[in-house]
Amino acid sequence: MAEKLASLWPEITLFVATCVVMVVGLSPNQAARRMCPLLTGLALAAAGILALGTGQDAKGLMPGMMPYAKAVIAFVGVLLTMLLVGVVDRFEEQAIERGDAAFDPGRSTRGEFFAFFLFSMTGLMLCASADSLIWLFLALELTSLPTYVMVAMSSARQKSKEAGVKYFFLGAMGAAVFLYGFALIYGGTGSVHMTGIRDALAAQSLDGGLNPIALAGFVVALVGIGFKIASVPMHFYAADVYQGAASPVSAMLAFVPKTAGFLAIILLCASLGWRFGESGSQLPEAVRVTLWVMAALTMFVGNVLAWLQTSVKRMLAYSSVAHSGYMLVGVIVGPGDSFTESGIAAVLFYLLAYGIMNTGGFAIVSALETRRAAVTDTGELIHDEADDINAFRGLCRTSPVLGWSMVLCALSLLGFPLTLGFFGKLPLFTAGISAGEIPLVLVLGINSAIAAFYYLRLVALPLFEHAGDEAELYTETPTNARRVAGLISAGGVLVLTVFASPLMDAAFDATGVSPAPEPGLAEQPTPLLEERSALAD
């Protein structure tokens, strides 16, 4: 127990920071209130460093996963924090600064906003540490619940509220589905612990086949978690919600719940084990087919729908759907003997690359807004975001930093050579082909090509067009942090390619799945585990 607790230092840090931020956000002193994002960022950085230090959970299902996953989460989290600066209370704080208004703690939302963000990040890190289904469920919900609120409070526009409600109801449905799946898994294996499930399934497969209830549970759970990663058939909310939320929050939605979902999917699949099928290195047929269909459809639907959009946020939303499809390929492939053959390592590395480049893309979107403030129905002032793709016309000339960052992030999202996106996609190719999933790799290749059709717009418009009347309507937001985040991301997609090899090694080290005990011993640990779970409850 103490050992497990010791591995949770990053989460504990984040939780403490959450409480601090919530209080600081209500401080009557404006300078103190302005510290909220800084505190958030520092807490995440500290959590990242602690994650690297706390080491591995030797008893867990995937002992090596925690340090890598948490460090990645913390790094992208810092970038996201920079985006979130100035999302809420901007005009109120300006009025207070001018002396036009007094601080009203009842209306201030800044502290809560960053506290919710930290809650969500805590949940995300807890997903990486999950060792039982109950823990996993709670962690997934802790990740998601704050995001529902953040979507709704992210802008004064009515559509944000609508997006929040839509996201909440669909999210609740998704949660119900995978919770049902978890229940079935428990019913079919008699354990809620990942290692217990693994051992029970190993015993079952020696004993004449897997329990169909457990298998059905896995299928249902995976489809339900598909909501978190926005994969087909649970992708419908993505475009509306991403468009309705302020773009910094959309950036968060595109990374945080998605990472949580992938960690959960990887853990679930690892407890099943990639040891079925003819080659003895596949998931059970039912689960494999489910994931296969999900992956292929997610890639096609995401890319084709993204192609049809004129709204940048909707385009990025559907493209993030497509990226989930790419990563599902790695999940289907499963772990391997080396980085090039390990689909899981490819997914973990891709999560890092995707986190950086996608956050970068959203950072540029959120760094542009309408020149003139509009008045909402409720009488609040608001600068609308640069959602129209024409806002990016000639951006490389009018604002070279933003323009070139956009070009680099778009090329990386496309997977163009020499960017991090390419080094992210190449392992998916190598792992997929090593596992004999050639049709799926071809689908991946074709979809990379389809993606070029729309990402190229984000390259061509800033680079080649001249800023026209439409682009004149937009200007840069006053918050510098978003520009810096965009710049860091754009630099990251180039610079991290130099360090690709150590990062890949780290991703590979994170993928070890602890094996099921030998058949003869399989009977022994199960009661012990049950006892432990009883104690834990």
Burial category of 524 from C-beta neighbours within 10 Å (exposed 0-12, middle 13-18, buried 19 and up): exposed
CA–CA separation, 369 vs 522, rounded Å?
61
Stretch that binds other proteins, among 98-106, 201-209, 311-319, 409-417 (CB under 8 A): 409-417
- What are the structure tokens assigned to 447, written together? 């979809």
Minimum CB–partner distance for residue 470 and other proteins (Å): 17
Candidate list 338, 468, 524, 531; residue touching other proteins; CB under 8 A:
338
Identify whether the C-beta of residue 96 lies closer than 8 Å to the C-beta of residue 67.
no
CA–CA separation, 267 vs 231, rounded Å?
18
Other beta carbons less than 10 A from residue 368's beta carbon: 26
DSSP state of 173: H
Q: Are strands 374-375 and 381-382 parallel, antiparallel or unpaired?
A: antiparallel
Q: Is residue 300 within the footprint of other proteins (CB under 8 A)?
A: no
Candidate list 290, 358, 412, 448; residue touching other proteins; CB under 8 A:
448
CA 23 vs. chain centroid, Å, equals 27
Q: Cβ closer to other proteins: 265 or 428?
A: 428
Candidate list 382, 423, 424, 516; residue touching other proteins; CB under 8 A:
423
Minimum CB–partner distance for residue 299 and other proteins (Å): 13
Q: Is residue 446 within the footprint of other proteins (CB under 8 A)?
A: yes
Minimum CB–partner distance for residue 501 and other proteins (Å): 5
CA–CA separation, 235 vs 489, rounded Å?
26
Q: Is residue 68 within the footprint of other proteins (CB under 8 A)?
A: no
Stretch that binds other proteins, among 114-122, 154-162, 338-346, 488-496 (CB under 8 A): 338-346
CA–CA separation, 188 vs 196, rounded Å?
12
Q: Is residue 441 within the footprint of other proteins (CB under 8 A)?
A: yes
CA–CA separation, 48 vs 67, rounded Å?
8
Q: Is residue 328 within the footprint of other proteins (CB under 8 A)?
A: no
Other beta carbons less than 10 A from residue 293's beta carbon: 13
Q: Cβ closer to other proteins: 148 or 423?
A: 423
Q: x/- binding map, residues 472-491, to other proteins, per CB under 8 A?
A: --------------------
CA–CA separation, 246 vs 160, rounded Å?
8
Q: x/- binding map, residues 454-473, to other proteins, per CB under 8 A?
A: --x---x--xx---------
Pick the closest to residue 149 from 88, 102, 213 (CA basis). 88
Identify whether the C-beta of residue 349 lies closer than 8 Å to the C-beta of residue 424.
yes
Q: Is residue 439 within the footprint of other proteins (CB under 8 A)?
A: no
- What are the structure tokens assigned to 63, written together? 């002992």
Minimum CB–partner distance for residue 449 and other proteins (Å): 4
Pick the closest to residue 116 from 93, 74, 145 (CA basis). 145
Q: Is residue 417 within the footprint of other proteins (CB under 8 A)?
A: yes
Q: Is residue 404 within the footprint of other proteins (CB under 8 A)?
A: no
Pick the closest to residue 73 from 152, 32, 138, 14 (CA basis). 14
- What are the structure tokens assigned to 80, written together? 């996201």
Minimum CB–partner distance for residue 407 and other proteins (Å): 10
Judged by CB under 8 A, the chain residues 490 through 509 that form the site for other proteins are 500-502, 504-505, 508
Q: Is residue 158 within the footprint of other proteins (CB under 8 A)?
A: no
Minimum CB–partner distance for residue 273 and other proteins (Å): 22
CA–CA separation, 66 vs 62, rounded Å?
8
Q: Cβ closer to other proteins: 26 or 460?
A: 460
Q: Cβ closer to other proteins: 234 or 345?
A: 345
CA–CA separation, 269 vs 531, rounded Å?
24
Judged by CB under 8 A, the chain residues 223 through 252 that form the site for other proteins are none
Q: Is residue 452 within the footprint of other proteins (CB under 8 A)?
A: yes
Q: Cβ closer to other proteins: 53 or 502?
A: 502
Residue spans of alpha helices (H) in 312-437: 312-333, 343-366, 395-398, 400-414, 420-434
Q: Is residue 401 within the footprint of other proteins (CB under 8 A)?
A: no
Q: Is residue 430 within the footprint of other proteins (CB under 8 A)?
A: yes
Minimum CB–partner distance for residue 329 and other proteins (Å): 12
Q: Cβ closer to other proteins: 30 or 338?
A: 338
Minimum CB–partner distance for residue 163 and other proteins (Å): 33
Minimum CB–partner distance for residue 500 and other proteins (Å): 5
Q: Cβ closer to other proteins: 169 or 464?
A: 464
Q: Is residue 438 within the footprint of other proteins (CB under 8 A)?
A: yes
Minimum CB–partner distance for residue 342 and other proteins (Å): 10
Other beta carbons less than 10 A from residue 519's beta carbon: 11
Question: Which residue type, as a one-letter code, is found at position 10?
Answer: P
Q: Cβ closer to other proteins: 236 or 453?
A: 453
Q: Is residue 453 within the footprint of other proteins (CB under 8 A)?
A: yes
Sign of CA pseudo-dihedral 527, 529, 531, 533: negative
Give the binding-site size for other proteins (rule: CB under 8 A).
35
CA–CA separation, 176 vs 85, rounded Å?
33
Minimum CB–partner distance for residue 128 and other proteins (Å): 22
To the nearest 10 degrees (0 to 180), the angle between helices 35-54 and 110-129 is 10
C-alpha pair distances (Å), 401 with each of 79, 235, 416, 471, 484: 17, 33, 20, 16, 9
Q: Cβ closer to other proteins: 305 or 459?
A: 459
To the nearest 10 degrees (0 to 180), the angle between helices 158-189 and 133-153 is 170
Minimum CB–partner distance for residue 172 and other proteins (Å): 39
CA–CA separation, 224 vs 136, rounded Å?
13
Name the site residues for other proteins (rule: CB under 8 A): 338-341, 411, 416-418, 422-423, 426-427, 429-430, 433-434, 438, 441-442, 445-446, 448-449, 452-453, 456, 460, 463-464, 500-502, 504-505, 508
